[in-house]
Amino acid sequence: MSVDTVSDESLRAAMVDQLVADHADKGLTMRPEVEAALRAVPRHLFTPDAGLEEAYRADQAVITKRVGDEAVSSVSAPWLIAEMLGQAADSVDGGLHGRHVLEIGSGGYNAALLRELVGPAGSVTTVDIDPDVTDRATACLAAAGYDDVMVVCMDAEQPIDPSRSYDLIIVTVGAWDIPRAWAGQLAEHGTLVVPLRTFGMTRSWALRREDDRLVSLSQRLCGFVPMRGAGAHDMQYVDVAAGVHLRLDEGQQIDPEIVGELLSQPSTQAWAGVSLPPRTVLADLDLWLASRITGTGKQFVVLTAQQDAVDTGVVVPAWRFGTPAVLHGGTFCYRSALRWSDDMFDLGAVAHGPDAAAAAERMVEHMRAWLDAGSPSPVLYVLPSGIPDGDLPAGTVLDKRHSRLVLTFTPA
């Protein structure tokens, strides 16, 4: 056995130990078959241009193609792949063994993991829009000994093989909508796992097909390179102040000068007056806020900021990589940094503008309401576009190009 082989194995074992521990920290349990697959697949053979250490970093994607400055393809981060495979295995009745799987977005690594999970009686097809990526995935799969994965080069917005249906479709590229082809290729009660952007925030949703609709079973925080081809939907960032940006989605338009001018005015802070333990996960709260503070006259947006803008106090966001914010009646309000005391924290909102005190208070009331409801998680329904309002489940409706999404919250 070569020295390299020994290091590959020990690095891989350490990476998987780390992933199992990270799952436990998040209150998740890694399924044994997912753990076994992660221990079996030699990830470094799918990242030949990266060093061994880089190949086995649990928290990092390895970028495999850029166009200009933009990363357009990668071998996804192990923590994210592990969580999405867990979502998939939890959602497909009876587990993944013997199942037929379509992966959208190829890197080779995840397809190899899926091959391990479905076993000889199942099948894996992986599709990518980019011939460089499919050529690379084909070569890496062969080098790692996975020669029974079907690799297809095409835009996955269209059906891959209209005569086939899949028990699981796992999308490994950031989507803005659910094209008809995805639900159409799912077996009845099949599962679609997809990183989907709603209100400017992306979550990996596990959605089960129930007749004409998809209904979510779980969701996780995630980030991916965006879809290309017919399903591309650019996310727009506007600069509102030095180092402060707004992420706009769903065809939104906002005058950056108005928000910049508001940010230069004094702010008002409100607190929810709650005491929460460290590690309380607030990702569901952000979707709750999005669903509560959209509507006529209100523009829900996501605020992002560079560290300098936070250090100099231009903004004090809850999370500088994406904080819920709203522009309403000439007042700008966002979820602010946590206030810690005795190892517990409180939730707050900051507002600028003529109605600042009331706007900040309204936002913290929504936060209290989420906590009072038992910190519920969102449930997402995906229905085909054209379904009349009266046939939609109750909830916040978000219309996309091919689908109507309904976001609702059930008590924890």
Ligand X SMILES: C[S@@+](CC[C@H](N)C(=O)[O-])C[C@H]1O[C@@H](n2cnc3c(N)ncnc32)[C@H](O)[C@@H]1O
Residue 105 as a binder of ligand X (CB under 6 A): the answer is yes
User: Which range in 68-76, 277-285, 329-337, 400-408 contacts ligand X by CB under 6 A?
Assistant: 68-76
**Residue of 19, 43, 55, 73 that binds ligand X (CB under 6 A):** 73
Q: Which is nearer to ligand X, 33 or 355 (CB)?
A: 33
Residue 227 as a binder of ligand X (CB under 6 A): the answer is yes
Separation of alpha carbons 78 and 55, rounded Å: 9
Separation of alpha carbons 282 and 277, rounded Å: 11
Could you tell me the smallest distance in angstroms from the CB atom of residue 33 to ligand X?
18
Give the 3-state secondary structure of residue 381: strand
**Residue of 116, 130, 177, 284 that binds ligand X (CB under 6 A):** 130
**Residue of 35, 116, 157, 286 that binds ligand X (CB under 6 A):** 157
Query: Which residues lie closer than 8 Å to 202 by C-beta, 6 or more apart?
Result: 174, 195, 196, 222, 223, 224
Phi, psi of 332 (to 5 degrees): -110, 130
Separation of alpha carbons 78 and 89, rounded Å: 16
Q: Which is nearer to ligand X, 130 or 249 (CB)?
A: 130
Could you tell me the smallest distance in angstroms from the CB atom of residue 139 to ligand X?
14
Out of 76, 106, 218, 291, which one is annotated catalytic? 76
Beta bridge partners of 397: 406
User: Which range in 128-136, 271-279, 312-320, 400-408 contacts ligand X by CB under 6 A?
Assistant: 128-136
**Residue of 102, 225, 301, 327 that binds ligand X (CB under 6 A):** 225
Residue 177 as a binder of ligand X (CB under 6 A): the answer is no
Residue 324 as a binder of ligand X (CB under 6 A): the answer is no
Q: Which is nearer to ligand X, 130 or 167 (CB)?
A: 130
**Residue of 156, 309, 315, 337 that binds ligand X (CB under 6 A):** 156
Tokens (6 digits) for 122: 């199942």
Q: Which is nearer to ligand X, 97 or 228 (CB)?
A: 228
Task: Report the chain's C-alpha Rg in angstroms.
Answer: 22
Residue 83 as a binder of ligand X (CB under 6 A): the answer is no
Strand 100-104 to strand 201-210: parallel, antiparallel, or no bridges (unpaired)? unpaired
Could you tell me the smallest distance in angstroms from the CB atom of residue 83 to ligand X?
13
**Residue of 91, 123, 125, 172 that binds ligand X (CB under 6 A):** 172
Beta bridge partners of 409: 378
What DSSP string describes 30-97?
--HHHHHHHHHS-GGGG-TTS-HHHHT-TT--EEEEEETTEEEEEEPPHHHHHHHHHHHHHHSTT-ST
User: Which range in 6-14, 103-111, 260-268, 273-281 contacts ligand X by CB under 6 A?
Assistant: 103-111
**Residue of 195, 231, 353, 378 that binds ligand X (CB under 6 A):** 231
Residues 14-53 that bind ligand X (CB under 6 A): none
Q: Based on the number of CB atoms within 10 Å of its own CB, is 328 exposed (0-12), middle (13-18) or buried (19 or more)? A: buried
Separation of alpha carbons 36 and 321, rounded Å: 33
Q: Based on the number of CB atoms within 10 Å of its own CB, is 279 exposed (0-12), middle (13-18) or buried (19 or more)? A: exposed
Q: Which residue has its beta carbon closest to ligand X? A: 107
- Give catalytic status of residue 76 as yes or no: yes
The site for ligand X, by CB under 6 A, has a size of: 29
Separation of alpha carbons 107 and 111, rounded Å: 8
Q: Which is nearer to ligand X, 46 or 345 (CB)?
A: 46
User: Which range in 86-94, 126-134, 213-221, 261-269 contacts ligand X by CB under 6 A?
Assistant: 126-134
Separation of alpha carbons 209 and 183, rounded Å: 7
**Residue of 119, 131, 229, 330 that binds ligand X (CB under 6 A):** 229
Q: What share of the chain is helix, strand, coil (3-state, %, to 5)?
A: 30, 35, 35
Q: Which is nearer to ligand X, 225 or 270 (CB)?
A: 225
User: Which range in 82-90, 153-161, 198-206, 351-359 contacts ligand X by CB under 6 A?
Assistant: 153-161
DSSP 316: -
User: Which range in 108-116, 138-146, 285-293, 345-353 contacts ligand X by CB under 6 A?
Assistant: 108-116
Phi, psi of 216 (to 5 degrees): -75, 145
Which residues carry out catalysis?
76
Give me the residues that bind ligand X (CB under 6 A), please: 72-76, 103-110, 127-130, 133, 155-157, 172-173, 224-225, 227-229, 231
